[in-house]
Chains A and B, each alone.
Chain A
Amino acid sequence: MGFARAFGVMVYRQLKRFVKARGRLVMTLAQPIIWIVFFGVGMGSVFSFSNPVAESFIKQVFGGLDYMTYLTTGVVGMTVFLGSFISGITVLWDKQFGFLKETLVAPAPRSAIILGRSFGDTLVVLLQAAIIALVAKAVAPSINLAGLPAALAYGLILGMGLASAGIVISLRMTTPESFQVVMNFVMMPLMFLSGVFYPLDRLPLWAKAIATANPLTYAVDGVRYWLTGASAYGPLKDLVILSAISAVFIALSVWEFRRATLD
């Protein structure tokens, strides 16, 4: 059985599951939209001034963008970050409900199975990110949607990396409770230390250090560049570092899944 075919089957399975679980689409769209509406509107009003001097100062802080544009473009990246990680974690459910065994005895390359799974889930997440980008455009009209395909390419790389990270964790995780621990103590801090909500350059050193190793930092910066032209590191540096971090997670997931047994 060929690699491409097994890869395709798993993409198909993940898309099928998504179509069946329409509730999931609503759920995963709800959270970023809530951030945009409630956080964005609130913070946007704090940062908006009628005084042109203050206005230009704020724009300087947020890389030349008004706060709403800054935030919403960040939320596009955040959607991919959380969505694909959670999709990777659902391997835990496959473990719980037994479907994992079905894929483990299949005469198909394990690497194709796990990569196809990540890719299928990432496609779903990219669809959500695209919807968020449209919502963002509605509240932040200066967003340039022509850059969306390029922005989604960064999303694809981030999504594959985070889905793979979720898979690695859930293959090693023994209880669903550890999921909450990972969400609260790893994912939440990373979400904030990434430039989604505020720029990183004035943060204390320890926070900067975390942000520097955070793949979301580079994905958000890249997405923001393609949607607005504003960037802290430049799109090429973003692409290179993001790809490197994701590649590590992808390789780890393949390695873990190839040697997975029921021990």
Chain B
Amino acid sequence: MQIFAYIINKNGKADDTALELALAAKKLDSEAQVTAIVAGSGIDSVCQEVSAAYNDVWKIDHAALAYPDSEIMGKILPKLLPEKAVLLLAHEYLAMDMAPGLAIRMNSAYIADVTDIEGLDGSVAKLVRQEFSGMVSTHNTCDLSDGAVITIRPGVFATEETPAVGGSVVDKSGDIVIPETQRKYLETVEAEVGDVDISNSEVLVSVGRGIEEEDNIEIIKELAEAMGVDYSCSRPIVDAKWMEKSRQVGTSGKTVKPKVYMALGISGAFQHLGGIKGSPFIIAINKNPKAPIFQVADIGVEGDILEIIPELTEKVNELKG
């Protein structure tokens, strides 16, 4: 089988997922020939970097690809890839924009956000993914006989070691034509900076949709104040405009690396957990004993935050005298 991996790269560096995709490809088919595809402008160092982990690297270097626009790449790749190719991408912002359409244009199977690969039975892959915000997992079959586009959840194949393959770089830049598109990239607007930078906080009291109402946010602030630490939140709290965006933890918010993280009324969606680095000590309070957060937390309490938090604040205040 020939497997391709689309490498996300920024500022001359490959994303962490570059190695993860190499590992995922081997897990899908240990015999497979695995080719990395690196597209961009001025990408020699990226190609060199990833070549260690792949059989070969296809370099697509073009000024028009300086910004990785999925409407452009989404039309280039189906022409460039051989028929029935299996293409892996990391399930993040570029893939969500490009990958499903690629599968249609390549007339191949599509499966998104794979969290584990159980193997191959003939041309049918058995893959694990999650549904309902990570509350249940599913086994899925994906028929690879007409090729496939598969997106892999970032982090699930995280590894320290580089599979020593040591491939060469093949320049494919001359094989592509930049297509006309109906969507033009204008600019990237950076996220607003808030009053605190939670990415440096040592302790975070973090609240989720379990807080139920805007008025209740106060009890979180009171706890944080009593503890003398910063507060943060999950995305729905920001969507509802109950806290500013700069306090959102997660892939589309801030990456934090505290020593202690309190997850209060937060279910533990992977986009939330994706923003928590450095293996903090996690204390979770949630009224649903099956909430995924309990699987990653160190200490769990099954209970109502509206009842527990005010009492906890009082105890902390007592302690401090």
- Indicate, yes or no, whether A interacts with B: no
Q: Which residues of B contact A (CB under 8 A)?
A: none
